[in-house]
């Protein structure tokens, strides 16, 4: 009596191999499209809230479901609010991603004097930051905590004067489906004061957490943190 081995067709073998290869890729793509997407902070325009080489997660479903490629939304169920920190496509080069804080929403009338803000006639007050308000102090900066609608968040002004960037009072009215955004590092941020408003179709999502942070990255892999230069106090720190 002989045993007959059941033959496995090449079609079945290839199907299994392809599923092992592509299913994880599709799951990762779906996660980045619908849930969270990682970004790395490249500049100091959002200091002290976000520092260079902070690795953040952006919640993609904060405002809806975006088209998988390009601009626009498949489903939109909320809008960015004043104080939200959002990632968006830079209006002047949509291949580049920016991160800023929302200052004005559609219909808002905004006045900016240096780094000071008035929205719809309401001045956003600020106080000098204490040692407990910031992770570290750089003597070349002056640190402040700003208040809007009962919510406090950090921003800084560089050097001695609050009017370093543009000393004159600037007035803006936010158009429909658009947002006025600024960096928390008010004197070292190119934002809506310079290039205008962010259309809602360009919004990617809301920054939620710093999951990794370091003083520098590896020379051979600029997107990877140098393990010897991790900032432990910023790991898994919420973004506000």
Distance CA 174, CA 196 (A): 9
- What is the separation of C-alpha 121 from the centre of its chain, rounded to a whole number of angstroms? 27
Distances (CA, A) of 18 to 7, 14, 38, 91: 19, 6, 27, 39
Residue partners of 208: CB distance under 8 A and separation at least 6: 36, 56, 57, 58, 59, 62, 238, 239
Phi, psi torsion values for 94, nearest 5 degrees: -75, 0
Hey, which residues are catalytic here?
A: 45, 100
């Amino acid at each position: 009596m002989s045993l007959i081995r059941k033959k496995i067709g090449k079609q079945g073998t290839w199907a299994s191999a392809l599923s092992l290869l592509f299913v994880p890729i599709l799951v990762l793509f779906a996660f980045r499209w619908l849930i969270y997407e990682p970004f790395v902070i490249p500049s100091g325009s959002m200091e002290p809230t976000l520092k260079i080489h902070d690795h953040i997660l952006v919640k993609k479903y904060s405002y809806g479901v975006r088209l998988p490629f390009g601009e626009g939304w498949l489903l939109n169920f909320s809008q960015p609010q004043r104080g939200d920190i959002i990632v968006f496509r830079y209006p002047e080069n949509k291949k580049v991603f920016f991160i800023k804080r929302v200052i004005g929403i559609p219909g808002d009338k905004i006045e900016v004097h240096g780094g000071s803000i008035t929205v719809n006639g309401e001045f956003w007050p600020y106080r000098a930051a204490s040692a407990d308000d910031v992770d570290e102090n750089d003597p070349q900066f002056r640190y402040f905590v700003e208040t809007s609608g009962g919510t406090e968040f950090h921003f800084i002004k560089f050097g001695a004067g609050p009017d370093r960037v543009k000393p004159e009072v600037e007035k803006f009215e936010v158009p429909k489906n658009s947002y006025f955004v600024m960096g928390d590092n008010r004197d070292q941020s190119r934002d809506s004061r310079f290039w205008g408003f962010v259309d809602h179709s360009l919004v990617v999502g809301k920054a939620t957490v710093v999951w990794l942070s370091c003083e520098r990255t590896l020379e051979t892999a600029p997107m990877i943190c140098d393990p010897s230069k991790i900032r432990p106090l910023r790991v898994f720190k919420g973004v506000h």
